[in-house]
Structure 1
Amino acid sequence: MTSPLTALLPATERALLHRVATAQSEGRAPSLVAGVAREGRLVWSGARPSAEEDRTLDTQYRIGSITKTFTAVLVMRLRDEGLLDLGDPLEKHLPDTGVGQVTIAQLLGHTAGLSAESPSPWWERTSGALRPELADVLGERTRMHPVGRRHHYSNTGYTVLGALVAAVRGDSWENVLRNEILRPLALDRTSAEPHGPRAEGWAVHPWADVLLPEPCEDLGLMGPAGRLWSTVGDLCRFAHFLAEGDDRVLGAASVREMRTPSAPAEAGEWDGAYGLGVQIVRNGGRTLVGHTGSLPGFVAGLWVSVEDGVAAAVLANATSGPLPSPTAADLVRIVAEAEPRIPEPWQPRPEVDRELLALTGPWYWGTQSFALKLLPGRDVELQPLRGGGRGSRFVAGSDGAWTGQDGYFAGETLTVVRREDGSVRHLDLGSFVFTREPYEPDAGVPGGVDSEGWRGLRP
C-alpha cells in the first residue's frame, strides 16, 4: 500500500500539471520545472519544455536571490555559535567598510538603509572582476535611507554579509556554504558554479517568439546575493529545513526566528514582510515563507507553508514572463486544499505531573477569563476563553518559569507565585496578576480588592 505522504491523488496531480503548463505557456518560458514536497518528501514534479529545451528535474537553474536565504543561514550559525550577535555593529567584525555602524540584524532584514544595487555597470550582466573590493560594491553613496527606519531591499547588503561570513570563518563564502549547509542537508545539486546538466539562460522577445541568449557572469563579491544554481528537488529539501530546522545546520528555534518579520511592511504591501533572509507573504489565507529570485535568463520561486507541511519550487530559464512566485504559491495551495494535512493521532501523556496539572483550567486577569492548557513536556498555553485578547504559548525553563513564544507575551516570563504554605497565590505574567477568581481578595491583586466584595447596584 502506498503511503499517503508519498503519493498524490490523480486529480491533484492533474491540477498541478495544469498550473505548471499554464505558467510555461502564458509566460513563454523556454522551459519551466516545478516540484512539490509534503512533510519534506518530494511528492510531485513536472516539467514543461519546448521541443528545443528538453529539461529534466536534475537540470540546474540559477536561483538568483534565493541565494540570500542560504547566506542568512550562515550568519545565523555564527550567532548560534556565539561568534557574533545580531545586534553587533558590522564594524566589530568587518572593519573599514564605510557602513560599519549598521547592525548585522539590519543587514539581514534589509533595514540598514544601503543602496539596492552596486554602482554601474549593471552587476548582474558584468563580471565581478569589475568590483574587486567592497568599496567598489558599495560605491560612494552608501546610504539611501535612515538606518533601521524602513525596509529597502539591498543586494549590496548581502554582499557585505557574505564578506562577513568569510572574515569570521577565515574561509571563502563558497567553501563555508558547501561545508556547513550543502553537505549536511545533502543538497548535492546546489552549487556556486553550474555542473551539468544546466539550463541556458534566455531573454524572450516581448513581441515575437524569438530568443536571445543571456550572459552568465561570475558575480565575484556579489555572489552571496544571488550566485547559486540549484534544482527543484534540492530547493524543496531546503524549504523543509526552513520549516523544521536541522540541528546539523540550524535548530528549529533559529529558523523560526528567521521566519519572524523584522521590519514593517511598505505602505500598500500589508500582505508581505521580510524576516531574516526570508520573505513572508499571506496568500489565500495561509502564510508562506521562502524567497524569490532572478538573474538575466532565469527566474525562481520557493515557498513553504509551515502549517500545511507543503513546499513548492518553480524554476524557469527566461529573464521575464513566467511568474514562479505566484505559480509556486498556487502549487502549495492546490495540494493543501485538495489533500489537507492529516493530523497526528491524539495520545494520552505517558505520565502526569500533578502539581503542573493543578495549574490548568480557568484564570482571570481582572474580569477577563483565560484558560491554561498543558502542552507536551512542561510547556503551557494561556489563551482567552472568549472574544479577542492576549494569549501565547510558553516554553518551560530550567528555573521553573516559562517564556512566551508568540503574540503579545512573546519573550515575557510566566511564573507561579506561592503563599508561605506552598499553595498557589497567583500567576505573574510580565507583572500581570492572574487569579483563580475575578479579583480574588487574598491573591495579591495590585491596588487591593474592596473589602465589601462584589455587590449589586440599586436604581
Structure 2
Amino acid sequence: MIDPVQDLNREQAPAASTVRALTRRLAVDQRDGRVPSVVAGLVRDRATVWTGARGRVNDSAPTPHTQYRIGSITKTFIAVLILRLRDEGLLELSDPVERHLPGTTFGDRTVAALLAHAGGLTAEPPGPWWERTRGTSWSELADRFSPETTPHRAGRRHHYSNLGFAALGEIVARIRGEDWLTVLDREILVPLELTRTTAMPVAPHARGWAVHPWADVLLPEPAHDGGAMGPAGQLWSTVTDMLRWSTFLGGDTGDVLHPDTLAEMSDPVVVEDGDGWRSGQGLGLQLLRHQGRRLVGHGGSMPGFLATVWADRTDDSGVVFLANATSGIGGALAVGLLDILVEQEPRLPAEWRPQATQPDPELLALTGEWYWGTAPYVLRLLPDGMLNLTPMGGRGRTSRFRAAADDDGWIGLDGYYAGERLRVVRRADGEVGHLDLNTFVFARKPYEPTAPIPGDVDPGGWRGSATY
C-alpha cells in the first residue's frame, strides 16, 4: 500500500482516522469486486491529500506512477481541444460536422451535439467490437457508415456515442493539420505537466485482466491501438496525472483553457434520467448531482480497465480511481471516497477579510437595492471586480457579471442572465438613472416613475383599497 502522505501536501494531510476510513473503503471495494489492483487519490485546494492502493501489479504494489488505461476519460481531453479551437475562432459549436469532416452520414449534426452525446449517433462504430480490435484509419472507418449510424434524430435524447468522439478527434486533426495525439501533447499534456499520460503504455504499467465470474482466475485482455477510434478511449495515465486533471476540471486551467469556457463545458446540455436528474452531460464532461453537490468529470472503461475522475467545485476537491479489471468496481467507490473526505474533514469557513484593493467609487455607487418592477434585488461588488445581482428574498434570478471586453457594460456569466448584457444608463446630468438588463429595467424604487418603464407607470401612483 502507498504511504498515505507520499507525494502529498503534508500540511493538508487528513487525520489518521480519515486515512484509515479511506484505506478501508478502498480495501473493501478491491476485495468485494475481486479486482487485481486499484489505486485512488483525493485532492483538495489543488493539492493531493491522500493516495492509496490495494492489490498487485507484476507482483508489487502499484504506486502513484503506475499507468492504467483510462478509457473514455480520453473524451474530456478531446472536448478541451475542440473548445480551444472554438475559442480561437477556428470553429463554432453550431457548425455542422460536414463543414469540417465531409462525407459522413451525420454531416448535418452539430459539433455541440456530438460533444453532448445528443447527435443521435450509434454508440459503437460499425464493424467488429472496436475495443478489442486493432484500429483502422478514419477513411476505412468512414467506408462502413450507413443510415444505421444515426438511429436517432439530433437532440431527441442523450445517447452515448464513442463514434461521435472519434469524429471530434478527426476534426481536431484536420483543423490543426496534424494528428490529435500530437496536438494533445503540445496543447494540454506539456503545459499541465502530465508526463505519464500517453497513447500506449509506458512501464511501469498495469496489465488489463478479466476476472472469471465464478472462479478466482484471470484472463488477459488485449490493449490495441484504437486507430481512428482512439479519441474515444485511447489514453493511459497515472493517479498522479489524473489528480492534476481533476484540479483542471475543478477550475485550475492554467493557460490551457479560459475558466469561463470550462464553466460552459460544465453546464448540463442533456440529462440521462429525466426529472430530478442525477446524471447529465455537458460539452464532453459527465455531470453527477450527489448529496447537494454537482460533480464534473468522466468515467472510463476498456477491456481490462476501469477508471473515474470527478471534481467537486463546491468543496474545491476531487477524486480519482484506476483499476485493471474489466468489471467488478465502479463509480460508487469514487463518490464514496469523496464523501469520507467531506464528512470526516469538514471545511472551516474561510476568514472574512476586506478586499485588498481600493474599490472603484463608480462601481461602489451602483451597489445596493434595485427593483425589477416590484421585485427587490441587491447588486453587490465582488472582490474580483465582478458584479453579483441577487433577489432579496432568495427567490428569483441570480447572475454574476464581468465587465465586457468592449467596455459597453457587463456580460452575464451564469444563471438566467448568462451571456446577456447589463448596461448602466445615465440621466442627462450624468447620474445613474437605471440599469438595462437585456430590455429589463431595474430602477432604484418599485416602478419608479422617472425610469423608462415600458408601458409607462400609471400617473395615479400607488393606491389603497378604496380605489381597488
TM-score scaled by length of structure 2: 0.93
Contact 1:131 1:137 in 2 (8 A): no
Contact 2:411 2:419 in 1 (8 A): yes
- Counterpart mapping for 1:4-403 below 5 A: 6-50=12-56, 52=59, 54-129=61-136, 133-136=140-143, 138-139=145-146, 141-267=148-274, 270-323=277-330, 325-342=331-348, 343=350, 345-397=352-404, 398-403=406-411
Unaligned runs of 5+ in 1: none
Contact 2:9 2:49 in 1 (8 A): no
* Deviation readout 1:359-405 (Å, 9 max, x if unpaired): 11111111111111111343111111114111211111242411111
Contact 2:115 2:165 in 1 (8 A): yes
1:53 shift after superposition: 5.7
Contact 1:108 1:277 in 2 (8 A): yes
**Cα distance in 2 between the residues matched to 1:3 and 1:131:** 44
1:353 shift after superposition: 1.9
Contact 1:308 1:340 in 2 (8 A): no
Contact 2:125 2:149 in 1 (8 A): no
Instruction: Label 1:131 to 1:453 Cα distance change in 2 as closer, same or farther (>3 A).
Output: closer
1:220 shift after superposition: 1.1
Give the count of matched residue pairs.
457
User: Partner residue of 2:439?
Assistant: 431
Give 1:420's match in structure 2, choosing from 422, 425, 428: 428
Instruction: Label 1:390 to 1:124 Cα distance change in 2 as closer, same or farther (>3 A).
Output: same
RMSD: 2.0
Contact 2:426 2:434 in 1 (8 A): yes
Unaligned runs of 5+ in 2: 1-7
* Deviation readout 1:122-178 (Å, 9 max, x if unpaired): 111111149762315645522111012221110000011111111111111111111
What amino acid does structure 2 have at the position aligned with 1:445?
I
Instruction: Label 1:438 to 1:349 Cα distance change in 2 as closer, same or farther (>3 A).
Output: farther
Instruction: Label 1:56 to 1:219 Cα distance change in 2 as closer, same or farther (>3 A).
Output: same
**Cα distance in 2 between the residues matched to 1:44 and 1:378:** 35
SS at match of 1:244: coil
* Deviation readout 1:166-207 (Å, 9 max, x if unpaired): 111111111111111111111111100100111111111112
SS at match of 2:294: strand
**Cα distance in 2 between the residues matched to 1:97 and 1:269:** 36
Contact 1:245 1:251 in 2 (8 A): no
Which has the higher mean CA deviation after the structures are superposed, 364-373 or 396-405? Answer: 396-405
1:443 shift after superposition: 1.6
**Cα distance in 2 between the residues matched to 1:133 and 1:347:** 62
User: Partner residue of 2:457?
Assistant: 449
Contact 2:271 2:279 in 1 (8 A): no
**Cα distance in 2 between the residues matched to 1:54 and 1:21:** 13
User: Partner residue of 1:440?
Assistant: 448
Instruction: Label 1:5 to 1:153 Cα distance change in 2 as closer, same or farther (>3 A).
Output: farther
**Cα distance in 1 between the residues matched to 2:434 and 2:10:** 47
Instruction: Label 1:23 to 1:120 Cα distance change in 2 as closer, same or farther (>3 A).
Output: same
SS at match of 1:208: coil
**Cα distance in 2 between the residues matched to 1:401 and 1:5:** 43
Contact 1:259 1:280 in 2 (8 A): yes
What amino acid does structure 2 have at the position aligned with 1:413?
R
**Cα distance in 1 between the residues matched to 2:139 and 2:454:** 63
1:317 shift after superposition: 0.8
Contact 2:138 2:170 in 1 (8 A): no
Contact 1:282 1:288 in 2 (8 A): yes
* Deviation readout 1:219-248 (Å, 9 max, x if unpaired): 111110001101111001011112224343
TM-score scaled by length of structure 1: 0.94
**Cα distance in 2 between the residues matched to 1:18 and 1:50:** 17
1:17 shift after superposition: 0.8
SS at match of 1:440: coil
Which has the higher mean CA deviation after the structures are superposed, 2-11 or 258-267? Answer: 2-11
Instruction: Label 1:341 to 1:254 Cα distance change in 2 as closer, same or farther (>3 A).
Output: farther
Which has the higher mean CA deviation after the structures are superposed, 337-346 or 391-400? Answer: 337-346
What amino acid does structure 2 have at the position aligned with 1:384?
P
**Cα distance in 2 between the residues matched to 1:400 and 1:75:** 29
Percent of aligned pairs sharing the same letter: 53
Contact 1:97 1:134 in 2 (8 A): no
**Cα distance in 2 between the residues matched to 1:30 and 1:105:** 38
What amino acid does structure 1 have at the position aligned with 2:434?
H
SS at match of 2:29: helix
